[in-house]
Amino acid sequence: MAMGFSSVPLLRRYPIYSPALPYFFSLRPNRRVNIAASLSTAEESTSSSLIQPTPSRTRWKPMCLYFTQGKCTKMDDPMHNDTFNHNCSLELMQNTAGLKNVRQQELEYFLVLDLEGKVEILEFPVLLFDAKTMDVVDLFHRFVRPIKMHEERINQYIEGKYGKLGVDRVWHDTAIPFAEVIEQFEVWLSERQLWRNELGGCLNNAAFVTCGNWDLKTKVPQQCTVAGMKLPPYFMEWINLKDVFLNFYKRRAPGMLSMMRELRIPLSGSHHLGIDDSSNIARVIHRMLIDGALLQITARRDPRSPEKVEFLFKNRIV
C-alpha cells in the first residue's frame, strides 16, 4: 500500500466506553423458551447463571485509524504507540475449561462487516475472524467518500457523523470513492485466498457476518447503483448474527447493544464508528462460539434475480 501523511497529528478519539476488562458471563441456550421474532427495543431478562469475569491481556486503547488503512507513519513513536492500538486481535484471555462447548464450524473464516452511512456509505470495515482460533487475525478498513453529494454537504455530513467522535480529520485524509474501496477490497481478499474472480466470484470457505440484514441486503446494492457498478458476487449471501443469536439462545436481541447486554459484554470503543462496532460484533461472535453456537448462512440472494433474498431461518428478527 502507498504510504503517506508524513506529518500526522495524534488522532482525537474520545470513546464513549473504553473498558479495560471485557467481562464474559454464561448465557446458556434455553431450549424451552419459544420466542416469536420481531423487531423491538424491549429487552428480555438475562440468565442468572454467571461465571467470573475474564480479564483482557492488555489495557484497552483506541485503534489507530491511519494504521487500519495502511497509512500510519508513527509506528516508531512511543507516545503514539502508547496511545493507540496497532493490533487487530481481540486479545481475550480464554479459560480452557470454558471451551468444552465449542463446536467445529462449517466455515474457516467470518468476515465481520458493519457499514456506516445512511445517505451513502461512509465507512467500510471488515474484520477477518478465524473460526478455529476464535480471534481476529486481519482487517480491511476504508473510509468512503460520497460521489453524489457536493463538498459543503459532505463536510456537514462528516462533522455531524464523525466530528463528535474526533475522527473527522482522518476521514478527510483517507476517504476514497466506493468503487476504489471495492477494488482494493478484492485485492485484499485475493491475497488472503478468500476469493478469486475466475472461480465464479464466491468467497472461499468464508462468509460475511453482519448485525442485521441492512448492510448487505439493502445498503451495498444501493451504493453499487450509485457508483454505477454491478453487485459483486461475494455479496450474495451472509450470516445475520441476530438470527443466529435468537435461534441459539432463544432470546430476542434486536441489535448489537442488546446482544452485548444479554451476554454481559460491555461496549468497547465508540458506538457508530464502524471499525469499533465490527470489533464489538466480533467479541459477541467469540462468546457465542465459546457457548457452542454454530454460525450458518441465514440469507441468500437468487442468482437469477439478485434483488430477491431468501431468509433461511424460520425464526428471525424482522
Residue 200 burial by Cβ neighbours in a 10 Å radius (0-12, 13-18, 19+): exposed
| Residues facing residue 125 across a β-bridge | 141
- Rounded to 10 deg, the angle between the 241-249 and 274-291 helix axes is 30
Partners of 27 in beta bridges:
none
Nearest to 269 by CA among 91, 12, 16, 3: 16
Q: Which of 150, 172, 272, 307 is catalytic?
A: 272
Grid cell digits, residue 48: 442468572
Type of residue numbered 12:
R
Active site residue 116: yes
For 52, the grid coordinates are: 467470573
What whole-number distance in Å separates Cα of residue 257 and Cα of residue 203?
A: 29
Q: Which of 43, 44, 116, 183 is catalytic?
A: 116
What residues are annotated to the active site?
116, 272
